[in-house]
């Protein structure tokens, strides 16, 4: 792709008083779309996500993931001159986004109301754990803890024990709604000339994602069971062992697919009319018996051979891959989804963002060293400039 293609957010400046994962994830996506993101970090160590681990060539894998393409500026916001500098930067910005502790930004003079009183075109976005009011307003809100409060962890794991989902689900949900909210506000400003004050909480974001279990329990009368790697309400849907000892995941979501599975894969058409398996609720109620039937038939297949057969019949299936296997997945390789980007530790390889637009690619700029851009930004926004 030509390097001179104008990205959709070129010319948009975002000031990010951010830390951890949720807001950095939102602003990294704005940077991928061409926005200038000025990341304000604290003296002494910067964003504490820089120290979460050392897995990416000595850098934090969390930080590398959510901070590509930003400018790192170290400011001491307890210092009056640095606060004045940040006000000058914000006065030229389009978006101000923060996820400090509740009330902290306002106490420093960077609350949404005060900022927008100075500049009605400014878009502000405050991301919190549980929202700007209510009894949980001040409660610390780390990702896993929000997952617990939202009921997600109660659904995850085996029947015997709960488990943490493998990724930061609450942070990702909050970051995505902050990102989409900012994009919406930029679009609205083009029509009205005025900015907006946005508020997003991790709890509310994850609450939206809990819609199915919420309605299922509210009106179904019973909680969804924890089902390990099996689907809590559809069968067959989950892992099944093959003759070579490997497991294939498959999912049957309609009676038409059930018929195809019985007749063309299992070679047992009589199962279509079996009273235990006649529809999905019955199949789910008799899941243990159904699993025994399927694994008995699959014992004559290797996992690879079964996947080929299932694909030919039109039954959804997947292999359980490790993260290492995912990173070199044949679909990613065939579609050329890997890209190299710079970092203080040297080149790193990541994946293109998921939205594809014909004729251009995401910016995928460098991961900044702590304070890498402080001197340049201080000079650019010096008093009187």
107-123, pLDDT tens digit by residue? 999 999 999 999 999 99
Looking at residue 384, what is its pLDDT?
Answer: 78
Give the distance from CA 338 to its chain's centroid.
Answer: 18
| Residue 337 pLDDT > 90 | yes
- Cβ atoms within 10 Å of 278's Cβ, excluding its own: 14
237 close to 252: Cβ distance less than 8 angstroms: yes
Residues 374-381, mean pLDDT to the nearest whole number: 97
Looking at residue 357, what is its pLDDT?
Answer: 92
Tens digits of residue pLDDT in 31-78: 999 999 999 999 999 999 999 999 999 999 999 999 999 999 999 999
Residues 12-29, mean pLDDT to the nearest whole number: 97
Give the three-state DSSP class for 231: coil
Query: DSSP secondary structure string, 46-81?
Result: -SGGGGS--TBTTB-HHHHHH-TT-EEEE--TTSHH
Looking at residue 51, what is its pLDDT?
Answer: 95
Whole-angstrom Cα distance, residue 156 to residue 7? 40
Q: In this predicted model, which residue has the larger pLDDT, 141 or 2?
A: 141
Whole-angstrom Cα distance, residue 261 to residue 258? 5
Looking at residue 3, what is its pLDDT?
Answer: 53
Q: Nearest 10 degrees: CA dihedral of 178, 184, 189, 190?
A: 140
Domain ranges of the chain: 13-210+337-380, 237-320
H/E run at residue 37: strand 36-41
Give the residue numbers annotated as catalytic, written as ranges.
Answer: 231
| Angular region, 138: left φ>0, alpha ψ -120 to 50, beta rest | alpha
Looking at residue 4, what is its pLDDT?
Answer: 62
Poorest-pLDDT segment among 98-102, 216-220, 276-280 = 216-220
Backbone φ and ψ of 92, nearest 5°:
-105, 5
361 close to 352: Cβ distance less than 8 angstroms: yes
Classify domain 237-320 at the CATH topology level: formyl-coa transferase, domain 3 (3.30.1540)
24 close to 49: Cβ distance less than 8 angstroms: yes
Q: Is the peptide bond before 236 cis (omega within 30 degrees of 0)?
A: yes
Looking at residue 2, what is its pLDDT?
Answer: 42
| Residue 194 pLDDT > 50 | yes
| Residue 1 pLDDT > 50 | no
Residues 6+ apart with CB under 8 A from 202: 22, 127, 128, 129, 130, 141, 143, 146, 170, 171, 173, 174
Looking at residue 46, what is its pLDDT?
Answer: 96
H/E run at residue 180: helix 169-192
Residues 162-186, mean pLDDT to the nearest whole number: 97
Whole-angstrom Cα distance, residue 318 to residue 373? 45
Mean of all residue pLDDT scores within the chain? 95
Long-range contacts of 230-238 (CB under 8 A, 24+ apart): 230/287, 232/155, 233/284, 234/280, 234/284, 235/280, 235/283, 235/284, 235/286, 235/287, 235/290, 236/261, 236/283, 236/287, 236/290, 236/291, 236/294
Looking at residue 320, what is its pLDDT?
Answer: 87
- Cβ atoms within 10 Å of 84's Cβ, excluding its own: 13
Cα end-to-end span (Å), the chain: 36
Give domain 13-210+337-380's CATH superfamily.
Answer: Crotonobetainyl-coa:carnitine coa-transferase; domain 1 (3.40.50.10540)
| Angular region, 5: left φ>0, alpha ψ -120 to 50, beta rest | beta
């Amino acid at each position: 792709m030509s390097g001179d293609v104008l990205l959709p957010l070129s010319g948009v400046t975002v000031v990010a008083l951010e830390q951890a994962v949720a807001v950095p994830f939102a602003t990294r996506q704005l940077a991928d779309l061409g926005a200038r993101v000025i990341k304000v970090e604290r003296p002494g160590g910067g964003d504490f996500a820089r120290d979460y681990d050392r897995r990416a060539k000595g850098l934090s894998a969390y930080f590398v993931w959510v901070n590509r393409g930003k400018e790192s500026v170290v400011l001491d916001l307890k210092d009056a001159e640095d606060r004045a500098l940040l006000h000058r930067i914000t006065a030229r910005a389009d978006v101000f986004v923060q996820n400090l502790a509740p009330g902290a930004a306002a106490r420093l003079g960077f609350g949404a109301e005060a900022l927008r009183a100075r500049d009605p075109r400014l878009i502000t976005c405050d991301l919190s754990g549980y929202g700007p009011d209510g009894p949980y307003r001040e409660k610390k809100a780390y990702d896993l803890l929000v997952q617990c409060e939202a009921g997600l962890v109660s659904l995850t794991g085996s029947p015997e024990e709960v488990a943490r989902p493998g990724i930061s689900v609450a942070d990702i949900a909050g970051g995505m709604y902050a990102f989409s909210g900012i994009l919406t506000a930029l679009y609205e400003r083009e029509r009205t000339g005025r900015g907006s004050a946005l508020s997003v909480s991790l709890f509310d974001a994850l609450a939206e994602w809990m819609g199915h279990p919420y309605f299922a329990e509210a009106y179904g009368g019973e909680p969804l069971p924890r089902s390990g790697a099996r689907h809590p309400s559809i069968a067959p849907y989950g892992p099944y062992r093959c003759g070579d000892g490997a497991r294939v995941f498959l999912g049957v979501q309609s009676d038409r697919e059930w018929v195809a599975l019985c007749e063309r894969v299992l070679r047992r058409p009589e199962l279509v009319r079996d009273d235990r398996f006649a529809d999905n609720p019955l199949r789910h109620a008799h899941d243990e018996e159904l699993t025994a039937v399927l694994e008995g038939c699959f014992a004559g297949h290797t996992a690879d051979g079964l996947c080929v057969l299932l694909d030919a019949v039109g039954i959804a299936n997947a292999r359980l891959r490790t993260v290492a296997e995912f990173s070199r997945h044949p679909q990613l390789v065939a579609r050329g989804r890997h890209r190299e980007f710079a970092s203080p530790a040297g080149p790193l390889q990541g994946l293109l963002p998921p939205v594809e637009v014909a004729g251009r690619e995401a910016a995928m700029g460098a991961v900044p060293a702590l304070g890498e851009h402080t001197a340049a930004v201080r000079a650019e926004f010096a008093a009187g400039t």
